[in-house]
Amino acid sequence: MLFQGLLSLIAYLPLAGALLLLFFPKDAKKGIAYFATGVAALDFLISLPLFLQWDSSLAGFDERTIERLDWIPSIGVQYIFGVDGISMLFVMLTTLLGLIAVLSSWSAIKERVKEYYVFLLLLQTGMLGVFMALDLFLFYVFWEVMLVPMYFLIGIWGGSNKLYAAIKFFLYTLAGSVLMLLGILAVYFYYGARTGVYTFDIALLHTLGADPGFLALSKWVFWAFFIGFAIKVPMFPFHTWLPDAHTEAPTAGSVILAGVLLKMGTYGFVRFSLPMMPEATKLYAPWVLALSVIGIIYGALVAMVQRDWKKLVAYSSVSHLGFCMLGVFALNVNGINGGILQMLNHGLSTGALFLLVGIVYERRHTRMIAEFGGLSRQMPVFATIFMIITMSSIGLPVLNGFIGEFTILAGAFLIPPEVGISVLGWELGGKFWAVCGVTGIVLGAAYMLWLYQRTMFGPLDNPENQKLSDCSGREVLYLAPLVALCFWIGIYPKPLFNILDKPVAQIVQQLQGPAAPTGVAESLTPSRR
């Protein structure tokens, strides 16, 4: 069932839906919600074959789905859509979370309903475009386009401090992407000057990875891309837009923000920095690792003392994404596989956490942790789901978080000892990053279990909480797939590993470089007779 044009269909269906929504009368709130849900559901359904019929033996992009058109021939801009195993998984994540986000908005959004769903659907097209674009220019266009609907979602339907958060989000990410644009142009002109072909085609630009002449320039380009991606991830110290944006955004916005938008940063590293600039990546990996590890610990520490339920979850994202970055910059199969899986896992479990906060917020109109307590008595179904997601978030085995964390750490423990930086005469490297990463295991448990205890356990003494109703059927319906996926990835992640196998191996090969024989790696792992 895979055919040319499927990707465009998936990407633009939400856009078409948004355009049709414009013709709806403003007051047909139910109709608007149903229609948007239908569009999102259809989008998810037509994206399913991508996953179900995926050919795991593919290392590169699936030729069955690649679409290529000339767009601005004079400067070599093409319209290229295509997915490999890595981006396919993110496309699936986006269509799934997109559907769930729409479903979760039915009762949450009462004002300006039409515009809301239009923006939500536009956002989806933007995100899908980012994961599908195989032309750097096109990628950049989608990368920027996506900001606009998100800006409005936060700015119009957000909480009390929404304008501040929306503008901060927009400007901060925009600042990063301008630097990224510089990087893109540098790559474009270098490649054009070198080969005479001016193009933004990612497949061609990736060949720069093997070009020794690119090394000097790539040292600058790496940081240009880094700033762009690191703000999106967000990595410490570029993260402060996130708690505000997350906290102020409406539930669906937070879900999409945490579930998909943050992944674009990490995805960018995997897709562009690693294969295109392997030498610069290896050179600067220690610094990125240091920031990742700081992010893991720092995010967790700050999460610990938050009084706002949603802000706590937001800071936990900083910590979790630090894990993803630790994995990616371990620069071996375990780390990158784990990093990518953990991005998916974070999308599922943190997405679910935001949904759960949203459910309570809708009923109580507060997110202050101190307002709650003993809810498990009043909301047993909610408490059970929350418990499962909490356990997933802190990496309990048999749930998805463990698979991601454990493979990331397995990768981190394989970081060669010489990958380090020296601080005040101390050589920090190799195992140091790994051991710092492991502390995340304790810290995550600490803040999540404390949150759980303060909200769910204890006496149910706040009279306002004594009338709370448990999850409705619709709420269970949109949480159930997330819970099921958490278990599935935890117990049987094999299909995902198979999908990631070849593409990730290819990236690692590119990182090894043509000159480095396998012997180098063997010497790091002494004895496997």
Partner 1 sequence: MSDFLWLIPLCPALGFLVNGLIGRKLSKRAVSAVACGVVLLSFLLSVAAVAQLAAMPAGERVMENRALTWIPRVDSGGGPPGLALDWLYVLDPLSAVMILVVTGVGFLIHVYSIGYMWEEQGYWRYFTYLNLFMAMMLTLVLGGSFAVMFVGWEGVGLCSYLLIGYYHTRTDCADAGRKAFITNRIGDLAFVAGTLTLFALFGTLEFRPILAAVASGEGPYWVLAAVGLALFVGACGKSAQIPLYVWLPDAMAGPTPVSALIHAATMVTAGVYMVCRLAPLYLAAPVALTVVAIVGAATALFAATIGIAQNDIKKVLAYSTVSQLGYMFVAAGVGAFGAAVFHLTTHAFFKALLFLGSGAVIHALHHEQDMMKMGGLKAKLPVTHAVFLCGWAAIAGVPLTSGFFSKDEILWKSFLWSPLLWASAAATAVITAFYMTRLMGLTFWGRSRMDHHAEAHVHEVPGVMKWPLIILAALALLGGFLSVPPALGGDLMPFTLEGWLHPVFTPATYAASGHHGAHGGDAGHAGEEHGGHHGAAAEYGLMLLASTLAVLTMWLGWRLYDRHPEKAAAWKERFAGIHGVLKNKYWVDELYDAVVIRSFYSLCRAAHVLDVRVVDGVVHLVRNVTVGTSYLSVFWDTWVVDGLVNLTGRTVRAGSGVLRRLQTGLAQSYASAMVLGLFLLICVYMYMS
Exactly one of 4, 453, 466, 472 binds partner 1 (CB under 8 A); that residue is 453
Exactly one of 434, 468, 471, 485 binds partner 1 (CB under 8 A); that residue is 434
Exactly one of 173, 332, 345, 465 binds partner 1 (CB under 8 A); that residue is 332
Binding mask 298-317 for partner 1 (x = CB under 8 A): x--xx-xxx-----------
Single-letter amino acid code for the residue at 168: K
- Burial (CB < 10 A; 0-12, 13-18, 19+), residue 347, is buried
Give dist(CA 400, CA 494) in Å, integer. 12
Q: Report which of 166, 164, 136 is spatially closest to residue 150, judged by C-alpha positions.
A: 166
Which stretch in 121-129, 321-329, 462-470, 486-494 sits in contact with partner 1 by CB under 8 A? 486-494
Residue 500 binds partner 1 (CB under 8 A): yes
Exactly one of 220, 450, 487, 488 binds partner 1 (CB under 8 A); that residue is 450
List, in order, residues 6 or more apart from 53 with CB less than 8 Å away: 1, 2
Give dist(CA 281, CA 430) in Å, integer. 16
Binding mask 336-375 for partner 1 (x = CB under 8 A): -x------------------------------------x-
Task: Show contacts with partner 1 in window 23-82 (CB under 8 A).
Answer: none
Exactly one of 132, 410, 428, 479 binds partner 1 (CB under 8 A); that residue is 410
Residue 509 binds partner 1 (CB under 8 A): yes
Task: Show contacts with partner 1 in window 229-248 (CB under 8 A).
Answer: 236-237, 239-241
Among residues 198 and 223, whose Cβ is nearest to partner 1? 223
Size, binding site for partner 1 by CB under 8 A:
79
Which stretch in 42-50, 165-173, 221-229, 247-255 sits in contact with partner 1 by CB under 8 A? 165-173
For the stretch 11-23, what's the b/e string if a residue is b when 16 or more beta carbons lie within 10 angstroms of its beta carbon? bbbbbebbeebee
Radius of gyration of the chain (CA): 22
Compute the least distance from the CB of residue 264 to partner 1, in Å. Answer: 20
What are the start-end ranges of the H helices in 394-458? 400-412, 431-456
Exactly one of 81, 402, 432, 478 binds partner 1 (CB under 8 A); that residue is 402
Among residues 241 and 354, whose Cβ is nearest to partner 1? 241
What single DSSP character describes residue 332? Answer: S
Give dist(CA 129, CA 143) in Å, integer. 8
Exactly one of 414, 479, 485, 486 binds partner 1 (CB under 8 A); that residue is 414
Binding mask 181-220 for partner 1 (x = CB under 8 A): ----------------------------------------
Q: Report which of 289, 279, 301, 272 is spatially closest to residue 412, judged by C-alpha positions.
A: 289
Single-letter amino acid code for the residue at 70: D
Q: How many CA atoms lie within 13 A of 347 on its CB side?
A: 31
